[in-house]
Amino acid sequence: MTHTDSTPPDDQGSVATALELVADEVDAAVSAVLDADAGDDDASGQLDAFADLVDDAERVFVHGAGRSGLALRMTAMRLMHLGLEVHVVGEVTTPAIADGDVLLTASGSGTTSGIVAAARTAVDAGARVAAITTAADSPLADLAEAVLVVPAADKQDRSGTASAQYAGGLFEQTVVLLGDAVFHALWKRSGADADELWPRHANLE
């Protein structure tokens, strides 16, 4: 963003200033994810591995707490448009997860108790876990077969060090973009054009 320089540092209550901050932080987080993916360590190639896991699932179950859960619901809707069978954990018609399914989840800290418990249940049931987190060394990451690590503050971290935004804001914004990138790649791999996905959009409301 080239706008940053022209903003006085004390104009903290300006929405324009805030929007530049948000966009700059998202840009940096995405760049770090891309650098890790292109590198030669454990995180290399994780983006495609993550998408492969989702693509190979019998059914995809998404689960996140609070705003992470809302971000994953955005992804869930797109995966349904793609023709996958998708369920949101906590909705009334969501069945039991089973062998062959994938739990797609996100937790900034990787320690959210309900999410970690669900991941353990999923693994015990023979399902596989795909997780987005800030913490590569967390109980959630340990349970997951595919992990995307986002260099952002988790929700409990209110120090302002990793991000000037409140709580897990940057993490949750990045989950939205990662989910849409996974969808976009799977869509392109499918060879379908936009008009082929459209008839799957809900028609009753």
Which residues are marked as active site?
172
Q: Does 42 bind its own copies (CB under 8 A)?
A: no
Window 141 to 200, contacts with its own copies (CB under 8 A): 158, 160, 165-167, 169, 172-173, 176-178, 180-189, 194-195, 197-200
Query: Phi/psi at 30 (nearest 5 deg)?
Result: -65, -40
Residue from the set 57, 102, 103, 140 that interacts with its own copies by CB under 8 A = 103
Contact between 77 and 176 under an 8 Å Cβ cutoff? The reply is no
Q: Which is nearer to its own copies, 86 or 135 (CB)?
A: 86
| Minimum separation from the CB atom of position 131 to its own copies (A) | 14
Q: Does 111 bind its own copies (CB under 8 A)?
A: no
Window 58 to 77, contacts with its own copies (CB under 8 A): 61, 63, 65-67, 70-71, 73-74, 76-77
Residue from the set 12, 39, 42, 100 that interacts with its own copies by CB under 8 A = 12
Q: Which pair of structure tokens corresponds to residue 59?
A: 């059914």
Residue from the set 8, 9, 13, 99 that interacts with its own copies by CB under 8 A = 13
Residue from the set 43, 104, 106, 118 that interacts with its own copies by CB under 8 A = 118
Q: Does 128 bind its own copies (CB under 8 A)?
A: no
Q: 87 has which bridge partners?
A: 61
Report the alpha-carbon distance of residue 145 to residue 128 in Å, rounded: 6
Report the alpha-carbon distance of residue 75 to residue 178 in Å, rounded: 9
Q: What is the DSSP letter of 29?
A: H
Report the alpha-carbon distance of residue 91 to residue 80 in Å, rounded: 15
Residue from the set 9, 96, 99, 161 that interacts with its own copies by CB under 8 A = 96
Report the alpha-carbon distance of residue 30 to residue 23 in Å, rounded: 11
Report the alpha-carbon distance of residue 90 to residue 70 in Å, rounded: 12
| Minimum separation from the CB atom of position 110 to its own copies (A) | 17
3-state secondary structure of 55: helix
| Minimum separation from the CB atom of position 136 to its own copies (A) | 18
Q: Which amino acid is at 54?
A: V
Nearest CA to 141 out of 182, 89, 106, 100 is that of 106
Residue from the set 86, 131, 143, 144 that interacts with its own copies by CB under 8 A = 86
Q: Does 40 bind its own copies (CB under 8 A)?
A: no
